[in-house]
Structure 1
Amino acid sequence: MYPFNEKKDDGQTPTVGTALEAVPSYLKALVGCIIPQSPAVYQPLPHKDSFRLIHIQPGKEDQPLKITLHLSRLHEQDGLPSYEALSYTWNCADEPNPPPCTIQNSIICNGTTKLIRHNLFKALSQLRYRTKERIIWADAISINQEDDLEKDGQIRLMHHIYRKASRVVVWLGKDDYDEAPRAFETLCAAANTWQRGQKPYTYEVFAGKGDERQISCTHAPPPTSSKSWVAVMAFFISDYFKRLWIVQEVVLAKHAIFIWGDCSLSWSAICHGIEYIKSDPNLAKELEDRGFQNAHLMYHLSKLRLGELKATHPFLHLLDMSRSFDVTNPKDKIFGLMGFPTEDGNDTRCGWEKADTNRTIDPVYEHSVEEVYTLVAAGILQKDQNLDVLSFTSHIRPSEKDQSYVNPGGIIDPAKVLIDLPSWVPNWDSGYILSPFLAFGENNQFSTGKGAGMKPEINISVKINETNEKHGNMVCVKGLVVDTIHEVEDQRPGYISLAKATPELKKLLIWSWARKHKDTTLETFVRTLTAGRDAHGNIVQSAEQPHQTTAFCELLHELKPESITLSSLLPTEIETLDRKKFNTQLVREMLWKASCYRSAFVTEGGELGMGSSTAMKGDKVVVLYGGQVPYVIREQEGGWYKFVGECYVNSLMNGDAIAKGDGIKDTAEMGVERLFELR
């Protein structure tokens, strides 16, 4: 280790600033040579695996917080000390005035006063021991936040830093309403009930500095109606579970402990508590929240890391699963996931992990958001040699925000951060989450562009750090035009809950029913509006289709949409309906999943489809080789195309049938194999 010396501070030594006041102005230029300067807080990192550990000096609550920074190397065999890694949110929401992000507190770092955010100050103060030093790693201090090059390098090491820590300490902040004891006791009891027969979990209460009291929870968890579950809900709705960086910080840890106020509970106990909650549908419904879903995803990834699950995830799947997490910097939607092992061992599907070589993209903050997202999309296309990434390119009409807006024909994505991307590149920070029509499991995929003889041909041209080169960032793919869009329905909003979605579902049903072809069967109609899947995302098999159709008809009777004749729509097989897999609530959920932020459309060939709300009359429905689903594109002057989005057309979901010519309209343009240049 390479310690930085801590400057002694007895409160009597005048500062450089005070001394300068007595110096004549014409001599101030020489002062730097006369008065010794304070040691720099940050010294350069000498090696690629160098990082800084924080030594929190012992002290009482009323004493100043003092730390020293020490250089270590991750790959030191004997010299790396045991340390803890801190996981926390950078905000300080417990202090409403002044605004959270402006509150700072001073500490003494290497003998120099340093300002840090309030939430981190609270965490370090809580973690400080009275009589011995404590060694931790915390990003905001351990990394020089003013040095982008250093940040780039340290981000590549972060997954190693969290993996090598003796444990990860999660700091949730103060417990203002005394909810932590009830929340942790309830989760602990639920965990012990779930894993009955194993060593029971306990949670800890800090009675004082260095004095921790363990509380056993061998009793049964409270009933669903108990107010104790409200405290559990308060735990999961914490801002902590919305932050993307925490995923790798917790999932990659050897051991993690959550501290909330004066209580602590292990991540392992929380995970088993989540299992208990998910096993009770009523309880799961009560606690259903973005934070709880994010915590459940983290638990799933923890099981993958520990080898308890055999499933693997491509990097694209991680990007998809993490869309509900927040980042301050949109680039962190990518960089925050770079430490995860995926299908190729430690090699992410963008090729940037394996022994720090063979990277398609490095975590370089100097790149713009547009450059990072474009490089990632290009890397995934190049490595996977399929078009799955295109299904996450979701263009949204902004009309829901501005009722006077009329779509002029462009594809506009009203992102939280307005960025100008090529039309084929997903915006991972758009704030709009659509349920894609594709799937990652091989046995649960459509095969539109994967029929006999449909060999993918993907050519990519991406230019970075060049001005006015957006249109130079292109991908050329082989495929064929199969139809043309004739009419498009209005977009449905996605910001309302399923419980309030009835009027929108009625609009969808009425519009689609009035325009379906006379030869369209009821089953085809149902499959189109639900994108061929059930509420769990599985493709509805032929034997299951009558059950889904029956449940759909029951839903029609509940909704009573105008202009749809219901008398003849309720099948006689209603008594044989498999209500565990198909009922009106599940069909309603699938309708909403498939249509959120989307629009139904009708093609010139009379096909009913579901796709991007930015689709327009004249857009082409295409089969692109290597794609699971059909797509919609728009021809531009010069012969290139804008990518509009994925779509569902029931007759086009089977690639082998398309290869035989099924579903392709008989015109000179249709069915002719060609290359499409997407920009």
Structure 2
Amino acid sequence: MPWFRSSKKSAQVADVTTSSVHSTTYSNGSIGLNPSQRNRHAVPSDAQAAPFRSTSSTPLPVYQPISSEKKVIRLLELTPGASHDPIRCYTHYISLSAADIMPYETVSYCWGESKRDFDIVLDRVPARIESSAGRLLQRLRESGKRRIVWIDAVCIDQDDDAEKSGQVAMMGDIYRCGWRNVVWLGDCPQPGLEDAVHVAIRNVLADMRNHVDGDDKLYEFTHKDPTTTRPRFYPKGNLLDQRIDLRSLVTFFSTKWFDRVWVVQEVVLPKTSLCHYGSITLQLADICKVAAWLLWNHRVLYPRELGTTSGLSHALSIWSLADKTAIPKHVHDRSDPSLLELCLKTEGYEATEPKDKVYALLGMSTVSRSPYMPLLQPRYGKEVSVTEVYRDATRAMIAESASLHILQFCSRQATMLLDRPAPSWVVNFEQMGLQQTMPVRLGLAFDTNLGQKANRCTRVAAKDPDVLTVAGFQVDQVAQYTDPFTADPNTELAVMKQALALTATLSKRFPKLDFTKQLSETLIGGIDWVGNAAGPKQSLNFDAFVKYLRLEEPRGSNPSSRKPTAEQNAYTARTYSKAMRRACMGRRFFVTARGLMGIGPAELSRNTTIVILYGGKVPFALEAAPGRKGKVTLLGECYLALCMYGEMMSMHKEKGGRDEKYEIV
């Protein structure tokens, strides 16, 4: 949410929360107010408007209280003016539940710093607002006619936590009811760059249409993955015309707007979105299609840094939610996405207010109409901590989806960064996707429990919301483990030698078994360096990698950073090392009492139990909770050889194994 702050409200101002919000009569632009209230908001002529006066203090607008329960919102009328004129605007109050409402536009933009340094005249009173909101109003204002907009920085009293919470809960309806959404991507930082952006986007679209038979076929074209029958974005293309100058798009897709978590809702829910970048205008759908085509052709992108800009990947995730014409009906019309699905799509987005990592998704999600919504009602006051919001969001995702997938994001290091002590099963949504605080999530294609949903006993204890009860069974106990893999390049050789030594002990215990394949797949978490399931080739890559290690390179040397040489196995060693470092960073390699091998959280010990939980795609590591009899703590997800595709679950069912309940704290 924006950080514009208003002053203390006047006691004499009429309260719009009363039952007077009934009429939908239009009078002087005021809607939903009875006649006695309309006069208060009648728009004065320019002659009547108070002259603009700059003050040394920080003047703030005075708001009438509004009732979010009755779906009352403020709208802002921008009066006509030239570019150099001060901004003059007036508030109007409407109810979204009325049969007929005034047409208005919503806006989507990137807030800057919270400093108020932009002067406007609001309801004939000088006021000062945050500068990015002020510059946007300048861009929106027209010279010959008024414009009615909803802009959160001004239309919500940011000094009133109760109002802010109520209005944020209505954000989905606010954006749905607007007739159009205006996206302000920002000013162009370099002269002439906006024209280059316009040309590049036009050329990329033309190139895409030369290869794809219609925009509505782009999704299918880019989601053909030969390794699975399910549609999955498969960036293996090399069709992009190399003559297209893409340099301007590095700056364009680095625009901060693409990183804000709120923008997803702001462009998914409106009927249409028109984007402005400097002086040029672009269709949001075109921007998203360009991102999809560029990422699908990432192997031939130049400049290379374009493929790593967060804006490019974020535009792709927006495309799958917002483009109703290009996304196939069976994909787009799956009703609303669940809160879990939205969380996964937006894990790399940013929010100034940590609670907004959850609140920004509610208006798009099925959870907004479910019994779990009361848990997630926006609350911005200090009486509700970020930890409580994240706890309730975690349990709502588990209950709504009957899945423990969200628990794959649990990390002790990330949980410790929350504002209060949290149960081990609570996800720190602000840290999702940040490798500084949690390892890379293991692959999504695994299915340790053969597609079974979370057991009915999976719930949050009614008497203690900090306890999560889940069902499953124990696979094995950790027996030995290596040091954790870290970013220090010297650790790769040392930890690999430890892993090879542990594997050698297994070979002595089970001399008839060859552990090479298991070890080669375990160290990369079952996924190769481009994201495909590990196959027979990985054993060859692993052999090359081991041969490289035995060369005993100087300290600090590792195949991830070493340039290709004439050595026969250099390339395969390097690709295996990339996959291994991605999977093992922040984790330990371990072997179990029964001789299984895996990788798991850095915090695991000989007291760690590896379990399979109903509703989980991967095994999890648990330990007894100190001082909490019968309770356990969650350390995190694991990769366990001979377990990831339901092998242990099948054996458990065939033998009639007994399920257990685990109370996680």
TM-score category (smaller protein)? 0.7 to 0.9
CA contact (8 A) 1:388 1:438 kept: no
Q: Is residue 643 from structure 1 mapped to residue 629 from structure 2 by the alignment?
A: no
Aligned counterpart for 1:621 among listed residues 597, 604, 610: 610
Aligned counterpart for 2:348 among listed residues 320, 324, 349: 324
In the TM superposition, residue 223 of structure 1 has moved relative to its aligned partner by 6.3
CA contact (8 A) 2:415 2:422 kept: no
Amino acid at match of 1:512: A
Unaligned 5+ segments in structure 1 are: 18-37, 92-99, 200-220, 342-346, 397-411, 464-468, 564-581, 665-670
- Per the alignment, in what secondary structure is the counterpart of residue 642 of structure 2? helix
- Per the alignment, in what secondary structure is the counterpart of residue 175 of structure 1? coil
CA contact (8 A) 1:191 1:269 kept: yes
- Per the alignment, in what secondary structure is the counterpart of residue 276 of structure 1? helix
Amino acid at match of 2:109: Y
TM-score (norm 1): 0.73
Deviations 1:567-608 (A, max 9, x none): xxxxxxxxxxxxxxx976764443233223322223333332
- Residue 86 of structure 1 corresponds to which residue in structure 2? 107
- Per the alignment, in what secondary structure is the counterpart of residue 430 of structure 2? coil
- Residue 319 of structure 2 corresponds to which residue in structure 1? 299
CA contact (8 A) 1:479 1:625 kept: yes
Q: Is residue 181 from structure 1 mapped to residue 195 from structure 2 by the alignment?
A: yes
In the TM superposition, residue 334 of structure 1 has moved relative to its aligned partner by 0.7
- Per the alignment, in what secondary structure is the counterpart of residue 270 of structure 1? helix
- Residue 461 of structure 1 corresponds to which residue in structure 2? 461
- Residue 497 of structure 2 corresponds to which residue in structure 1? 510
In the TM superposition, residue 531 of structure 1 has moved relative to its aligned partner by 1.9
| 1:303-452 correspondence to structure 2 within 5 Å | 303=323, 307-308=327-328, 310-311=330-331, 313-341=337-365, 347=366, 351-353=367-369, 359-366=374-381, 367-396=384-413, 413-415=415-417, 417-430=418-431, 431=434, 432=437, 434-437=439-442, 439=444, 444-448=445-449
Amino acid at match of 2:442: F
Identity of aligned residues (%): 24
Change (3 A) 1:455 1:57: closer
Change (3 A) 1:363 1:647: same
Amino acid at match of 2:446: Q
Q: Is residue 277 from structure 1 mapped to residue 294 from structure 2 by the alignment?
A: yes
Aligned counterpart for 1:193 among listed residues 178, 197, 207: 207
Deviations 1:154-187 (A, max 9, x none): 2222122223323221212222312222122211
In the TM superposition, residue 331 of structure 1 has moved relative to its aligned partner by 0.9
Change (3 A) 1:610 1:305: farther
Amino acid at match of 1:641: V
Amino acid at match of 2:111: W
- Residue 113 of structure 1 corresponds to which residue in structure 2? 126
- Residue 16 of structure 2 corresponds to which residue in structure 1? none
What is the distance in 2 between the residues matched to 1:222 and 1:388? 36
Change (3 A) 1:296 1:225: same
Q: Is residue 630 from structure 1 mapped to residue 619 from structure 2 by the alignment?
A: yes
| 1:477-516 correspondence to structure 2 within 5 Å | 477-493=470-486, 505-516=492-503
What is the distance in 1 between the residues matched to 2:52 and 2:179? 40
CA contact (8 A) 2:52 2:86 kept: no
- Per the alignment, in what secondary structure is the counterpart of residue 346 of structure 2? helix
| 1:6-405 correspondence to structure 2 within 5 Å | 6=43, 8-11=48-51, 40-45=62-67, 48-81=70-103, 83-91=104-112, 100-178=113-191, 179-195=193-209, 224=242, 228-280=245-297, 281-283=299-301, 285-287=304-306, 288-303=308-323, 307-308=327-328, 310-311=330-331, 313-341=337-365, 347=366, 351-353=367-369, 359-366=374-381, 367-396=384-413
- Residue 548 of structure 1 corresponds to which residue in structure 2? 538
CA contact (8 A) 1:69 1:110 kept: yes
Change (3 A) 1:268 1:484: same
In the TM superposition, residue 245 of structure 1 has moved relative to its aligned partner by 0.3
- Per the alignment, in what secondary structure is the counterpart of residue 652 of structure 1? coil
What is the distance in 1 between the residues matched to 2:523 and 2:322? 35
Change (3 A) 1:321 1:79: closer
Amino acid at match of 1:457: C
Deviations 1:60-111 (A, max 9, x none): 1222110111122334443332x221111111xxxxxxxx432521211111
- Residue 599 of structure 2 corresponds to which residue in structure 1? 610
- Per the alignment, in what secondary structure is the counterpart of residue 352 of structure 1? helix
- Per the alignment, in what secondary structure is the counterpart of residue 146 of structure 1? coil
In the TM superposition, residue 514 of structure 1 has moved relative to its aligned partner by 2.2
In the TM superposition, residue 251 of structure 1 has moved relative to its aligned partner by 2.4
What is the distance in 1 between the residues matched to 2:424 and 2:182? 42
- Residue 475 of structure 1 corresponds to which residue in structure 2? 468
- Residue 533 of structure 1 corresponds to which residue in structure 2? 527
Deviations 1:331-361 (A, max 9, x none): 11111111224xxxxx2xxx3335x996543
What is the distance in 2 between the residues matched to 1:251 and 1:14? 39
What is the distance in 2 between the residues matched to 1:136 and 1:473? 42
CA contact (8 A) 2:287 2:315 kept: no
In the TM superposition, residue 152 of structure 1 has moved relative to its aligned partner by 2.0
Change (3 A) 1:629 1:275: closer
- Per the alignment, in what secondary structure is the counterpart of residue 298 of structure 1? helix
CA contact (8 A) 1:482 1:663 kept: no
- Per the alignment, in what secondary structure is the counterpart of residue 526 of structure 1? helix
Q: Which moved more, 1:639-648 or 1:605-614?
A: 605-614
Amino acid at match of 2:515: T
User: Superposition RMSD on alpha carbons, in Å?
Assistant: 3.6
Amino acid at match of 1:315: L
- Residue 212 of structure 1 corresponds to which residue in structure 2? none
- Residue 597 of structure 1 corresponds to which residue in structure 2? 586
Deviations 1:24-68 (A, max 9, x none): xxxxxxxxxxxxxx9943342476322222111111122211011
In the TM superposition, residue 450 of structure 1 has moved relative to its aligned partner by 6.2
What is the distance in 2 between the residues matched to 1:459 and 1:388? 15
- Residue 208 of structure 1 corresponds to which residue in structure 2? none
- Per the alignment, in what secondary structure is the counterpart of residue 250 of structure 2? helix
What is the distance in 2 between the residues matched to 1:585 and 1:251? 41
- Per the alignment, in what secondary structure is the counterpart of residue 327 of structure 1? coil
In the TM superposition, residue 270 of structure 1 has moved relative to its aligned partner by 1.0
What is the distance in 2 between the residues matched to 1:75 and 1:306? 32
Change (3 A) 1:546 1:115: same
Deviations 1:425-474 (A, max 9, x none): 111112445433352xxxx33224868x99563242266xxxxx7xx610
Change (3 A) 1:386 1:119: closer
What is the distance in 2 between the residues matched to 1:277 and 1:66? 43
What is the distance in 2 between the residues matched to 1:321 and 1:14? 45
CA contact (8 A) 2:116 2:128 kept: no
Change (3 A) 1:598 1:109: same
CA contact (8 A) 1:353 1:359 kept: no
What is the distance in 1 between the residues matched to 2:344 and 2:395? 16
- Residue 19 of structure 2 corresponds to which residue in structure 1? none
In the TM superposition, residue 537 of structure 1 has moved relative to its aligned partner by 4.6
Deviations 1:310-350 (A, max 9, x none): 33554213212212111111111111111224xxxxx2xxx
Change (3 A) 1:538 1:365: farther
Amino acid at match of 1:320: L
What is the distance in 1 between the residues matched to 2:548 and 2:620? 33
Amino acid at match of 2:587: R
What is the distance in 2 between the residues matched to 1:559 and 1:239? 42
Change (3 A) 1:163 1:560: farther
What is the distance in 1 between the residues matched to 2:579 and 2:316? 21
